[in-house]
Amino acid sequence: MSTRICAAFLGASFLMAPAALAQSVGDPVPDTFICTLVNGPVSATYEANRAANEADGRVLHTYSRIFNGFALRVSDKAIDTLVERNPTITGCSQAVYVGLPDAGAAARGAPKPDGGGGKPDKGGGGGGKPGGSGGSDQTVPWGVARVGTGTPNGNVAWVVDTGVDVDNPDLNLVGSAEFLTAETFGGNANSVDDLNGHGTHVAGTIAAIDNTIGVVGVAPGAPVYSVRVLDSLGVAPDSDVAAGLDFVAANASAGDVVNLSLTADQGSTILDAGVQALADGGVFVVMAAGNSGVNVDTGSVSPAYNNGPNLFTVSSIDKRSNLASFSNYGASVDYAEPGVRILSLAPGGGTTNKDGTSMAAPHLSGILLVTGGSVGADGQVKRDKDGTAEDVGVLP
């Protein structure tokens, strides 16, 4: 398994893989397959190594918590023969690229929500907004002011994203891991650090410390564990993301919160299995609805269309509670949260604004880290496109 787990100060870099730039989110990953195994006492590690030897392939990941199986780098022809000859393999499917909402377009240079709202403000956040706490250089972002802040309950925020700035003084980062293979747009497969900015921004909204710098989060100072599954452009195979979810499932406790501000616009059965396994284990999973302006249910937006206990899908609103023009919607959406011009942390210090359902989801994650499961309401979303306006989730 391509895994590196280390203390929060570790950082590195890796060159971009130019050949991958021709791919888009939703495209199949060349020669990369995810295989599931029969139920029972079957070792994923043993079977993965055996399969790799038989098919002249390479093991990328093994999975034991969200399902029993492995990811393999192997040719199309070899995978068909492998499945036919190995009775312990129930099936293999080709991995697909997933990423930040609209990450595929962002990789091609188009400005999109979640891509940021200007250059980072290295000065901190400046001045403080009405109702702010702490010193004059700390700001309470409008979204946090809307949903409220509270004392975290001790559970961990697992930020499954582009990584989190390992040196940020405004976060209580308790650990980092990465699960990237090299089959990505932006490479950087050997670093736990955030080379994009998205994951750091998400973590700040959830849990930025109430001090004299930066911003304050909904659950200030809550422990954050960074699980880097997306590259510097916010893209990766779903096999990598699943490896990160498998790691969380092996290490999280009931009541912890997983924030998933990423999507697979054509659906991903492996992500669906991952979030369901986490939820079944008592972990809260908060998912961004996506930024394509479509119905998550009819548009096959994974994992946002998943429903059930401990699963939460979040759409985006502006300051007037209007559904953001880019936000996905649908019956699977549970709450609407602030997601337009959201100020939060930037790698290297300072703050920056970003838009997107990726920015909305961490507000709900913070709420759950304070309450342990209950969510209050402050009105409902306006101009909802499906006619079933969700509550704006706040601290009770």
Whichever domain contains 22, its CATH number is: 3.30.70.80
Per-residue pLDDT of the chain (396 residues; tens, 9 = 90+): 333 333 332 222 222 333 334 467 888 999 999 999 998 889 999 999 999 999 999 999 999 999 999 999 999 999 999 999 999 999 999 999 999 986 444 443 334 576 544 333 433 333 333 333 334 589 999 999 999 999 999 999 999 999 999 999 999 999 999 999 976 666 566 789 999 999 999 999 999 999 999 999 999 999 999 999 999 999 999 999 999 999 999 999 999 999 999 998 788 999 999 999 999 999 999 999 999 999 999 888 999 999 999 999 999 999 999 999 999 999 999 999 999 999 999 999 999 999 999 999 999 999 999 999 999 999 999 988 887 889 999 999
Tokens of 282: 């008592």
Q: Is residue 6 part of a domain?
A: no
Nearest to 110 by CA among 2, 203, 24: 24
**161 is annotated as an active-site residue:** yes
Residues 208 and 123 in one domain: yes
Query: 336 and 245 share a domain?
Result: yes
Shared domain for 187 and 64, answered yes or no, is no
Residue at a domain's end among 46, 77, 97: 97
Residue 115 within a domain? yes
CATH classification at residue 208: 3.40.50.200
Active-site residue, from 114, 161, 240, 384: 161
Pair (222, 361) in one structural domain? yes
In a domain, 13, yes or no: no
Phi, psi of 266 (to 5 degrees): -105, 15
Q: How many whole angstroms separate alpha carbon 23 and alpha carbon 17? A: 11
Active site residue 201: no
End position of a domain, from candidates 97, 130, 146 = 97
Contacting residues for 41 by C-beta, under 8 A, at least 6 apart = none
pLDDT of residue 249: 99
Domain shared by 377 and 388, yes or no = yes
In a domain, 11, yes or no: no
Residue 5: predicted pLDDT: 37
Which of 170, 193, 194, 198 is the catalytic position? 198
Among this protein's residues, is 358 annotated catalytic? Answer: yes
Integer Cα distance of 329 and 322 in angstroms: 12
- Range(s) of the domain holding residue 323: 99-394
d(CA 132, CA 210) in angstroms, rounded, equals 10
CB within 8 A of 191, min separation 6: which ones? 11, 12, 13, 14, 163, 178, 228
Pair 112, 22 in one domain: no
- Does 258 map to a domain? yes
Residue 223 in domain: yes
Q: Is the domain of 92 the same as that of 60?
A: yes
Token pair in block for residue 185:
């747009």
pLDDT score at 248: 99
Note whether 125 and 90 are same-domain residues. Answer: no
Whether residue 106 lies inside any domain: the answer is: yes
The verdict on 127 and 92 lying in the same domain is no
Q: Do 104 and 83 fall into the same domain?
A: no
10 in a structural domain: no
Claim to verify: residue 87 and residue 112 sit in the same structural domain: no
Assess whether 77 and 153 both reside in one domain: no
Among 49, 77, 97, residue at a domain's last position: 97
Which residue out of 315, 358, 363, 384 is catalytically annotated? Answer: 358
Domain count, the chain: 2
